[in-house]
Chain A
Amino acid sequence: MLKYLTIFDPSRSHGEDDTYRELLLYHQFVRNGDQRDGNDNGERPEGGTTNNVKLSQIGIIQGIWTLTQSLGGVAEETEKVIELDKETILVIKVEQKYFIAICLARDKQASVSSHFYLKQLWLSYRFFNLKYGLFDNCNDTKLSGLLNEHFVIFWNNIFLKPDIMIRKGLELLWDDKFKVAEFPQMKDPSWESKIIQDILLAKDSYLGIKDIALYHLPKSNVPKKNRLNNKTFGFMRNFTSNLETLPDLSNWIYHLHSVYDELSSHIIAGNVHYKELPTEDQQPATNDNTATTLRPEDNVTSNANFKDKFLHNLTLPISFAYDAVQEVGATTGISSSMSILRDYIPRWPMTTTQEPQESPRMGMNAHNNETESELDRSRYAYLISPMCAELLPDGYKLQKLKLKFTDTDKELNTYDCLFWYYNDVLAIIICHEGFSKIWDQEYLKDLSYKLSEGVRQFYEVAFPTVTHHHDSVESFAYMLVTPTQIKSSIPTCYGSHDTLDVSPLTLVINGLDSMFTGGLGNHNTDDADDGEDNDNDNERNWGVDIMGGLFGYGDSQKVTVKKKKLEKRVRYTNFIDSMDDDKLWELHVMIFKFLESLKNSRRQDGFIEERLLRLNNGVLCYIREDRGNDELVIIVKNWFEMDTMANEGSNGLFSSLGKDVTQWWDSIREGE
């Protein structure tokens, strides 16, 4: 459990009298039950921790840092872990002078190592850089406010929903690298050239759009049998080779995806966070806590399955909408059923430039065509674009991100980023700050169409249809960590979703979004089962949306199969995909321990270490670390299932893993 978070800069103090200047942020995490005199946001005012205590805490951290550095520390040291009997303090030093420290209560039963928290600490700093730039470049008067806004929300989410820590599994261990999606059966990369030709090299985009980063982010909360393998998750490609901050940008997207299970306009705009519900003794006992119950006194939506936590939307217009709904509901006595509610939502007039968008390909009647393929039933739209309603905050129109392209930028530079999706594919369109075309609705629609054409082609080649016997299950799982990228087919841990089609959290988001997207002017869909949404296709668009297929990969596939019995698309699964979530996390922890011990290896530079571990629980794990080339390979197999006869004669550590592994490795090497 998190205890406190602090950020301080010792260089701001010049004497004993002004040590308080060092402290830039101090936040104590408190639960509802502990909150006696706190405010709504779970923050305890001065009464909780006195300034003296705060200053003494940062003083001792600083003292420990200096002491340990003087006894054999290296100048480039940037992180330290201080372990006490009852708590662990993680400290990182950034920009040569700022310290960020977080304190965790030690729980011997906890399976999440403090190392994972340390990596999250780095990520929280990197994401701050992405949004606001370096600490040093922030105005002194604004810095504390920005730190508060960013770090407190980031860590409060983890505090309230600790399973975020396990969502990314081992991939979290490399905060400076990013996960890359792989589609081994994709033979034809022509979709990429289509995007290059039609968009990046097009006359009206050229030099305006700097880059487009594409990600494949399949839903995590689908039944396991329908889940795509983790190797298909992550970064697909971008179109420049010099985006230095690509790892941070990618990890930011993955983080949002793992925290909220999916991406929506609110999430990307940064208007969403978790909040704890008041405990029973603090709230009236009359609420039935159903998914659609809205309570004006809290301005929240709750769900019984969500363990007293809910998504708290801070978007002011939406809050206003809630109030309006509640007001109407209260005065008329009408139930809060979502379908009825939608009729009472005030409808803002559309801006004069905004026209209802129609997809040239995806007409309203498309879903009636029985022979239409699954891909034709896809949905795509902008998540963040100037096409959203004018009343929404600027964060919904575009995201200003601090990025660095090595060819043009000496340091972090501000770029305007639009977010667009097509089913599970997210595109971040990175534009120069002065690129005014993005304010042109027609241009955006055209851009959206061109992107959809490219991505549709991608889907066709990345997920070819297969007959049953061709969709083989790989007998091994791997993780390959290179200097900047992570390739992994080891599934990450999403918790048990087998009994829940959609998590309660998702329901709340869906409710909000369908309420405000209403007719979905820029939400192109022709899904047969979403007819209710389509009824309002000509209505105004709020410009808020949730990416992904409405039913996830598996379910939409299921629907299609009803229509077309033969169609089945490759899922790239391996033998671990069917593993229980508990055991899967156990496997992650075990591999983490192997990696921890590898970290202690004191071999000389220029030596490669290989390990082949065989445990009595069936795990066969091969690890190869090449520090010179910053490369790590992890391969997991089930040695109960290994065909020893087939591997006879292959007695090296790697070659003994089997032909399938060596063939995979050869294909990786060929691809480089």
Chain B
Amino acid sequence: MNLNENYIDNTHLIPASKKGNQDELSRGRPSDPTTSISINNETAIFQPSLSPATSMNALPRSTNASFVGSMRSLADLRNPPPLSSIHMSNDDNDAATSLMTRLNESIYSFDGTLSGGNHTMMRSIVSNEIPNVFQKTDDYDKNFFIFTSAGKPIFSMYNDAGDDDRQVSSLMGIMTTIIDYFKLNNSSNLKMINSNVSGLKFIFLDKSPILLMGYSKRGETSDEILKQLDLLHSYILSTLNERQLCRLFTKRDNFDLRNFLEPTDFENLRELCHLMNGKLYPDLLINSLQCLPLRKSIRTRIHTQMLQQLTQATSHDEITRGTLLYGLIVSSHNKMCSVLRPRGHTLHTTDLQLLFSLIWNQFQNIDNTQELWVPICFPKFNSSGFLYCYIKFLSDEQEYGSEQEETEGRRPVLVLISASKDAFFPLKVFGNKLVDSLREDGLLDYIVHSRGFRVRDVPAPLVHHFIYKSKRHVQYVMPELELNENEDELSEEAEIVRLSYERKLQNYYQQLHNTVTSDDGVELNGSILNYIQWGEEEEEQEALPDDTSLHFQRENIRMMGLCWITPKFELYVICNNGVTDKEMILRSAQKIVSWCRRNESRLFIQDGAIF
């Protein structure tokens, strides 16, 4: 069963009587997301003399020659047109405009029909790759250092403990001296050193007895680096907790924490660094969690099952009241699926990010029969104590055993969190019953095999990728990543390509996000719409003696992105190369917002199962 088909706007699935309405929605009604850019007369710098302009809803009339680049790569295979044909005569304008618009919108046409229930990745006819307009990153552009107040090194991103320890130790010594100088003489903490010419930023985070320092030349804001340092520090706390840490250092200032941490801790720290710097990880950037799209009824049934099982367990005294604090079902790629929580209590995003990271980095290798009982400190919840997590991976061996291989390493997981360290068996019983009930209800299939949605599922032409964050839910959604390479190919090369693509997207999103936030992470305005375009400088191309240049002319790079920040949502859009029509992009953005709002109950966990 294809989950996607239930929420994508496939007109063939919609009854004819409703088709008209559906089309209307897809185009974006005048009152749709545009209302989010509201006029605040109190803070307005400029006052309107007329009613607010409605240009955001204006339909674009013309299309744009830059799309031709994409078109030509198709058409030229059969009959290469001369370059001058891009500039069409007036008589042909309407017909050409119409043709180009249709072609533009069909850029995500496929060489097969979109049949329900078929999960096979279909490749687009036209290449949907986007060029990289950003500078290549170098390992030495960025590093994180964690050390003690006494200057003992704990961890550095590009230096394993023990490797070239002397160099790191002397560096830590100097940094500690500088930090202490300001503490002693100015009663002030060192926060940042900024080298304006090179763009090198040093960010310091004093969490005595642990100090953290990160430097970067990658154009991140101070707030971004600070968040990354905070996540690393939170990880250390999650393994030790603050009280234990203080106890260790109260007795001995120069305690070497490296001897206390496990090798897996260093691995996890490195994985965190890799996640933050080498992958597409918007969670930290936009401070929210990714959510697994599920039909509202399915999610409601899961939540109902969770509540029912909990009620039964407590009524049968299998679990005493208060034993279970939180229950989570997390799908592959760290997507939240369902939440069981007490009324009025939620877990902090950072705590959950840490938990998910720990699960995927450390426990993915255990088999389905194994269960884990792990003490974890959730630093934002309570940094002085541990909570205990029952962790069990989910799969449906009976029906989908053959597909196990495909999903290996990316299995959904059930996490039950308790404050009681002796609650393993009650939670195990509860967990097993919950999984059984989910399986019996057929809900486990949805959890295990749900794969999110793809960009083509959203009726937003010319959009390469997007992130939509619902501020109320502190959750975001984005389409699955689509590469032109065969996804089944799990070769090392494919993985490199995938990583490179993720990094490219991360760069785009980071740059888009930075255009609407200040260096300290505050949004520049409560409501802002920002288009960004990166284009190559126009250079005159020398004409070659033959017409080779017509056939092999390199496609010009002209990338456009859009950020749309309102009090309710944040939208970040990356367009296909060659798109320069801002009205068309705005129309697509409106369609995305409209689509996300329409499917809000499917895309986001509204409240979860509350007890």
Contact = CB atoms under 8 A, between A and B. Distances in A.
Interface of A: 53, 56, 60, 63-64, 67-68, 71-74, 76-87, 118, 575, 579, 583, 586-587, 590, 593-594, 596-604, 606-619, 626, 628-629, 638-642, 644, 647-649, 651-653, 656
B528 A613 contact: yes
B427 to A, nearest CB: 44
Contacts of B219: 600-602
Nearest to B561: A611
A607 B193 contact: no
Interface in B488-517: 507, 511, 514-517
25 contacts: A60-B181, A72-B215, A73-B198, A78-B197, A80-B193, A84-B182, A575-B46, A594-B515, A594-B524, A597-B221, A597-B517, A598-B515, A599-B199, A600-B199, A600-B220, A602-B511, A603-B134, A610-B532, A611-B530, A612-B530, A615-B528, A644-B58, A651-B581, A651-B583, A652-B582
Contact of A618 (B44, B199, B533): B44
Contacts of B401: none
A553 to B, nearest CB: 26
B531 A653 contact: yes
A640 B50 CA distance: 7
A175 to B, nearest CB: 12
B194 A639 contact: no
Given A614-B528, A652-B582, A74 B198 contact: yes
A82 B181 CA distance: 13
A81 to B, nearest CB: 4
From B45, B182, B511, B519, residue with most partner A Cβ within 10 Å: B45
A597 B518 contact: yes
B45 A79 contact: no
A628 B535 contact: no
A653 B48 contact: no
Given A67-B178, A617-B43, 9 more contacts: A63-B177, A72-B215, A80-B195, A602-B218, A607-B537, A610-B531, A611-B515, A640-B47, A641-B50
B526 interface: yes
A127 to B, nearest CB: 21
Q: Which 7 residue pairs of A and B lie closest in terms of their CB atoms, listed nearest first?
A: A618-B46, A640-B48, A616-B527, A644-B55, A638-B46, A602-B219, A84-B188
Interface stretch (B60-68, B83-91, B276-284): B60-68
Contacts of A656: 582-583
Given A612-B530, A618-B45, A72 B140 contact: yes
A639 to B, nearest CB: 6
B185 A617 contact: no
B196 interface: yes
B185 A56 contact: yes
A573 to B, nearest CB: 15
B75 interface: no
B163 interface: no
Contact of B64 (A601, A604, A651): A651
Contacts of B96: none
Classify chain B's interface size: 35 or more
Given A68-B195, A81-B192, A613 B134 contact: no
A495 to B, nearest CB: 18
Interface in B181-209: 181-182, 185-200, 202
A49 to B, nearest CB: 11
B49 interface: yes
A407 B583 CA distance: 52
B191 A83 contact: yes
B269 to A, nearest CB: 20
A72 B142 CA distance: 9
B537 A77 contact: no
Given A53-B185, A68-B193, A587-B45, A603 B62 contact: no
A606 B135 CA distance: 11
A84 B189 CA distance: 5
A628 B215 CA distance: 27
Contacts of A602: 134-135, 218-219, 507, 511
Contact of A73 (B182, B200, B580): B200
From B40, B174, B186, B217, residue with most partner A Cβ within 10 Å: B186
A79 B44 contact: no
Interface string B134-178: 110000110100000000000000000000000000010011011
A651 B195 contact: no
Contacts of A72: 140-141, 198, 200, 215, 217
A108 to B, nearest CB: 10
B425 interface: no
A604 B582 contact: no
Contact of A64 (B143, B186, B193, B514): B193
Contacts of B580: 651-653
From A68, A597, A604, A628, residue with most partner B Cβ within 10 Å: A597
A609 B532 contact: yes
B275 interface: no
A63 B194 contact: no
A596 B518 contact: yes
Given A611-B532, A641-B50, A600 B198 contact: no
Contacts of A583: 45
B53 A642 contact: yes
Contacts of B140: 72
Nearest to A59: B181
B141 A651 contact: no
A82 B190 contact: yes
B133 A604 contact: yes
Nearest to B222: A83
Contacts of A77: 195, 197-198
Given A612-B582, A653-B582, A640 B52 contact: yes
Given A600-B514, A642-B55, A608 B192 contact: no
B517 to A, nearest CB: 7
Contacts of A638: 46, 48
B37 A586 contact: no
B111 interface: no
A63 B186 CA distance: 17
A474 B113 CA distance: 55
B559 to A, nearest CB: 9
A590 B44 CA distance: 12
A281 to B, nearest CB: 29
Nearest to A596: B519
Contacts of B50: 640-641
Contacts of B221: 597, 600
A606 B525 contact: no
From A56, A67, A83, A641, residue with most partner B Cβ within 10 Å: A83
B46 A79 contact: no
A384 to B, nearest CB: 36
B132 to A, nearest CB: 8
Nearest to B202: A68
Contact of A626 (B135, B515, B537): B537
A608 B190 contact: no
A611 B535 CA distance: 11
Given A583-B45, A615-B527, A604 B135 contact: yes
A86 B215 CA distance: 21
B38 interface: yes
Nearest to B39: A616
B174 A63 contact: yes
B236 to A, nearest CB: 23
Given A72-B141, A640-B53, A85 B181 contact: no
B534 interface: yes
A617 B40 contact: yes
B196 A81 contact: yes
B584 interface: yes
Contacts of A649: 61-62
Contacts of A79: 195-197
Contacts of A82: 190, 192-193
B264 to A, nearest CB: 29
From B187, B507, B535, residue with most partner A Cβ within 10 Å: B535
A306 to B, nearest CB: 30
